[in-house]
């Protein structure tokens, strides 16, 4: 599958765009230079006839593309396949070993944010007890990207956000000096502020001595 996918992405790419895309993402992996609309069309065509008899077959195909990728769009294609609507029944805690590998080996915000909010989040929503425990464990990980994922996995939950879990996942990183963790904390709080601004004001006031200036700024950006 990967050779044909790579060929299609290369044909859709624009070599003149590729260096700027690579520079923006600070990526050691090169780009084909494929625009987002074209990328989606290529993936839709490339995966149109793919069948997944089992969750194992699906994960094997995702990981084959991910591990064998030479260009960043190829890894984006692996994420596209990971979120294929035909895989809905496979989006369970059993998929978390694969998503953990993608997060740890991807180790950058474009991969991690997509996986956390669009893959890990829905599994947490459907399986709150085991996934809550896993997110708490990730929040204490030595891997900053797993920590970031635990903090932002509820971005789209709005009023269904488990605030106790969110605050518990933030807690181990409150004193961190890592930019991507400080940013994640502010982002997660800002998202929930659309649902309950007073609660986020309260939380920021209570933790102002530990929250970084960046996290505070981000948390209160849209509510003053």
Instruction: Kindly report, residue by residue over 76-115, the tens digit of the pLDDT.
Output: 999 999 999 999 999 999 999 999 999 999 999 999 999 9
**CATH label, 1-90, candidates 3.30.70.1900, 1.10.1740.10, 1.20.1050.10, 1.25.10.90:** 1.25.10.90
CB 95 within 8 A of CB 124: no
- C-alpha pair distances (Å), 67 with each of 40, 78, 94, 101: 20, 9, 19, 10
The rounded percent of the chain whose pLDDT value lies above 90 is 96
Residue 38 binned pLDDT confidence (cut-offs 50, 70, 90): very high
Domain at 91-224, CATH class? mainly alpha
Give the Cα separation of 170 and 163 in Å (integer): 10
Q: What is the mean pLDDT of the chain?
A: 96
Give the Cα separation of 181 and 172 in Å (integer): 10
Provide the angle, in degrees to the nearest 10, between the axes of the packed helices 163-170 and 179-193: 160
Query: If you write DSSP's letter for every residue of 38-88 in order, what string do you get?
Result: HHHHHHHHHTTT---SSHHHHHHHHHHHHHH-SSHHHHHHHHHHHT-GGGG
pTM of the predicted structure, to 2 decimals:
0.95
Residue 223 binned pLDDT confidence (cut-offs 50, 70, 90): confident
Instruction: Kindly report, residue by residue over 105-160, the tens digit of the pLDDT.
Output: 999 999 999 999 999 999 999 999 999 999 999 999 999 999 999 999 999 999 99
What lies within 8 Å, CB to CB, of 108 at 6+ separation is 25, 26, 27, 145
Tokens 């995966």 belong to 47
- Sequence ranges of the domains in the chain: 1-90, 91-224
Q: Once rounded to an integer, what is the mean pLDDT over residues 34-63?
A: 95
């Amino acid at each position: 599958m990967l050779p044909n996918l790579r060929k299609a992405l290369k044909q859709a790419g624009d070599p003149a765009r590729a260096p700027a895309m690579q520079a923006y993402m600070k990526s050691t992996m090169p780009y084909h230079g494929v625009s987002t609309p074209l990328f989606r069309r290529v993936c839709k065509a490339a995966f149109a006839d793919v069948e997944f008899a089992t969750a194992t077959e699906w994960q094997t195909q995702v990981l084959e593309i991910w591990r064998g990728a030479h260009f960043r769009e190829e890894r984006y294609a692996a994420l596209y396949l990971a979120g294929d609507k035909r895989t809905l029944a496979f989006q369970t805690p059993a998929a978390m070993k694969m998503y953990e590998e993608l997060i740890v080996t991807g180790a950058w915000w474009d991969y991690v944010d997509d996986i956390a909010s669009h893959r890990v989040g829905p599994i947490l929503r459907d399986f709150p007890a085991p996934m809550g425990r896993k997110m708490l464990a990730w929040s204490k990980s030595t891997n900053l990207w797993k920590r970031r994922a635990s903090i932002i996995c509820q971005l789209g939950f709005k009023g269904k956000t488990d605030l106790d879990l969110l605050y518990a996942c933030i807690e181990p990183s409150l004193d961190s000096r890592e930019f991507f963790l400080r940013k994640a904390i502010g982002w997660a709080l800002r998202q929930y502020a659309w649902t309950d601004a007073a609660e986020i004001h309260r939380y920021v006031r209570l933790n102002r001595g530990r929250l970084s200036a960046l996290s505070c700024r981000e948390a209160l950006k849209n509510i003053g």
